């Protein structure tokens, strides 16, 4: 499944990238700087949007071997000398406490095995005053028709989409993990099925 998903990942996101994601990535990463960790870096779609002059070190964590191969090729072509790739899951990061100024999560928390453990790890590796920059699709409003459909489809979707979940309550999980969420925006993804359109976007500082 990993090899197939990696092979078609960019193609599957192509319409959404054109519709909104490319612009959102650029907006999200405009202020990323210092020592930066990106979890679930995938094939490297965020790479072109980092501002080189601001980023002293960029660690790209990706646990899937097929994704890492594609990420490596993109990083080499990009010639981003501050970038390095590590084999690491968000739930078990091989870094000391307070190692990074900024952590980036773009369409990742929907598919991690244990989002609460992953967020605890992100909180741990961030320095005091550090920020989690995120762009994540989330569950629709609990009383909505869309949420009911998300719940019905979620088991099948999870099996067909590399573990992606439709009903993650990411905002509440961020609060529980010790992040401030006041600046997060609700957005609607475009160029994707309606089931994955509800999203949150922005900066969540470490409290």
Residue ranges covered by each domain of the chain: 2-205
2-25 average pLDDT score: 92
**What is the spatial distance between Cα 114 and Cα 30, in angstroms, rounded to a whole number?**
29
What is the structure's pLDDT at 2? 74
Range 2-205 classified under CATH 3.40.50.970? no
pTM assigned to the model: 0.95
| Long-range contacts of the stretch 3-10 (C-beta < 8 A, 24+) | 3/66, 5/64, 5/66, 5/67, 5/162, 6/43, 6/64, 6/66, 6/67, 6/69, 6/70, 7/66, 9/42, 9/43, 9/67, 9/70, 10/43, 10/45
**What is the spatial distance between Cα 63 and Cα 41, in angstroms, rounded to a whole number?**
9
53-75 average pLDDT score: 96
28 pLDDT more than 90: yes
Q: Give first-to-last CA distance, the chain, whole Å.
A: 37
42-68 average pLDDT score: 96
Q: What is the mean pLDDT of the chain?
A: 95
1 pLDDT more than 60: no
């Amino acid at each position: 499944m990993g090899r197939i998903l990696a092979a078609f990942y960019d193609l599957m996101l192509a319409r959404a990238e054109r519709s909104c994601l490319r612009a959102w990535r650029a907006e999200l990463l405009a202020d990323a700087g210092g020592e930066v960790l990106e979890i679930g870096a995938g094939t490297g779609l965020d790479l072109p949007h980092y501002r080189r002059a601001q980023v002293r070190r960029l660690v790209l964590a990706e646990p899937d071997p097929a994704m890492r191969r594609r990420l490596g090729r993109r990083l080499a072509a990009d010639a981003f000398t501050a970038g390095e790739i590590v084999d690491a899951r968000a739930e078990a990061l091989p870094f000391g406490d307070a190692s990074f100024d900024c952590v980036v999560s773009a369409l990742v928390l929907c598919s991690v095995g244990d989002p609460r453990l992953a967020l605890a790890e992100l909180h741990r590796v961030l320095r005091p005053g550090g920020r989690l920059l995120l762009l994540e699709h989330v569950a629709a409003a609990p009383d909505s028709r869309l949420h009911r459909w998300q719940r019905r489809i979620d088991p099948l979707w999870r099996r067909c989409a590399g573990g992606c979940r439709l009903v993650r309550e990411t905002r509440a999980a961020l609060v529980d993990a010790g992040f401030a969420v006041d600046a997060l925006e609700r957005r609607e993804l475009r160029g994707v099925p309606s089931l994955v359109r509800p999203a949150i976007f922005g900066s969540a500082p470490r409290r």
